[in-house]
Amino acid sequence: MATDSGLWDLLLRGESHGTLHHWDGDGFAHQPWHEVVVQAHGMAATLREAGVRPGTRVATVLTNSAHTVRGLLAVWLAGGAVASFPLSARGQSPEEYGNQLTVLSERLDPTVLLVDESLKRLVPAGLAARLPMLTWTSLYGGGRIDPSPPGDEDTVFIQYSSGSTSLPKGCELSVRAVGTHLHMLRELSDGQPGQETIASWLPLSHDMGVFGTMLHAWAFDHDFVLSSPERFGMAPRTWFRDMSEFGATMTAGTNTALHLATRAQGRTALPKPLRLKAFVMGAERVDWDTLNAAVETFRPSGLVPEAFMPAYGMAEATLAISSTPLGERPSARHFDGAALLDNRIVEVSEDTPGATRLVSNGPPLPGVRVQQARTGRVSELLISTPSLASRYHGDPRRTAERFRDGALHTGDLGFVHDGEVFVVGRADDLISVGGRNVHTGDIESAVEGLGTVRKGCSALVEMTGSPVSRLVMLLEPARRSDDFHAIANRAATVALGKSGIALSECVFVERGHLPRTPSGKIQRFRCRSLLGQDDSPLKTIARIRLD
Question: Domain 332-426 maps to which CATH number in 2.40.50.140, 2.30.38.10, 3.30.70.890, 3.20.20.60?
Answer: 2.30.38.10
Could you give the angle at which helices 255-265 and 238-246 cross, rounded to 10 degrees? 80
362-421 per-position pLDDT tens digit: 999 999 999 999 999 999 999 999 999 999 999 999 999 999 988 999 988 899 999 999
Task: For 440-491, write each residue's pLDDT tens digit.
Answer: 877 888 888 888 888 888 888 877 654 556 788 899 998 888 889 999 998 8
Sheet holding 453-463, edge to edge: 453-463, 470-477, 505-509, 540-545
Of 104 and 515, the structure prediction assigns the larger pLDDT to 104
CATH of 434-545 given 3.40.50.720, 3.40.640.10, 3.20.20.210, 3.30.300.30: 3.30.300.30
Name residues whose C-beta falls within 8 Å of residue 53's C-beta, 6 or more positions apart in sequence.
78, 79, 80, 148
Any idea what the Cα angle at residue 183 is, between residues 179 and 186, rounded to 5°? 140
Question: DSSP class of residue 373?
Answer: S
Q: DSSP secondary structure string, 21-88?
A: EEE-SSSEEEEEHHHHHHHHHHHHHHHHHTT--TT-EEEE---SSHHHHHHHHHHHHTTPEEEEPPPP
**Alpha helices (runs of H) in 391-462, residue ranges in sequence order:** 396-402, 440-448
pLDDT the model gives residue 5: 54
- The band of 504, judged by pLDDT with boundaries at 50, 70 and 90, is confident
Give the start-to-end residue ranges of the domains of the chain.
7-234, 332-426, 434-545
pLDDT at 482: 86
434-545 shares the fold of 7-234: no
Is the distance from CB of 70 to CB of 40 less than 8 angstroms? yes
7-234 classified as CATH 3.30.70.1140: no
Helix axes 33-49, 66-77, angle to 10 degrees: 60
Reported as a single tens digit per residue, the pLDDT across 113-160 is 999 999 999 999 999 999 999 999 999 988 889 999 999 999 999 999
431 DSSP β-pair partners: 438
- Provide the pLDDT for residue 469: 65
pLDDT 10s digits, 195-254 = 999 999 999 998 999 999 999 999 999 999 999 999 998 999 999 999 999 999 999 999
Q: What are phi and psi of 43, to 5 degrees?
A: -65, -35
Ranking 191-195, 296-300, 336-340 by mean pLDDT, the lowest is 336-340
